[in-house]
Amino acid sequence: MNTKQFARALDRHGPVMAGWPETERAAAATLLAGSAEARGLLQAALALDARLQRDLPQPDAAAVARLQAGIARRIARAPLPSPPGPLPRLLALLRPAAPAGWGALATMATCALWLSLSPPRAAPEDPFGPLQTLPLAGDLF
């Protein structure tokens, strides 16, 4: 781990290294033992964390408990979702048949119907036919 990776880990996990993943914690401890810059980064992060804890208002424990109880009551009173009817279940089963959406599937079906109902065209003319009648340099008449 280098100091740039250590700074990213500080941003990601915070300055309390007890909550870091074990592999990153071990690499960070090795880096901290040998790098004054990494120790400075850790001290700055600890100071910022302490200032945030001191300056930000802490919520009242009773207010948090009331909020959690209110949310739990709403969840308990909420009706369970009804199982889907036959049409939504059928559409869910057919969903893999239309990965680009139902509009694309309808367009493809319309094109297939149009091509199957259109009258057949006459056999195409040979595009190289006129060239076959031109004389070449070595041809004698």
Tens digit of each residue's pLDDT (9 = 90 or more) over 19-66? 899 999 999 999 999 999 999 999 999 999 999 888 988 889 999 999
CA–CA separation, 98 and 108 (whole Å)? 10
Residue 64, burial from CB neighbour count under 10 angstroms (0-12, 13-18, 19+): exposed
Q: Among residues of the chain, what percentage have pLDDT more than 70?
A: 89
Residue 138 DSSP one-character state: T
Q: How confident is the model at residue 94 (pLDDT cuts 50, 70, 90)?
A: confident
Q: Which residues are CB-neighbours of 10 under 8 A, at least 6 positions away? A: 41, 42, 45
Q: Where are the domains of the chain?
A: 3-55
Whole-model pTM: value is: 0.44
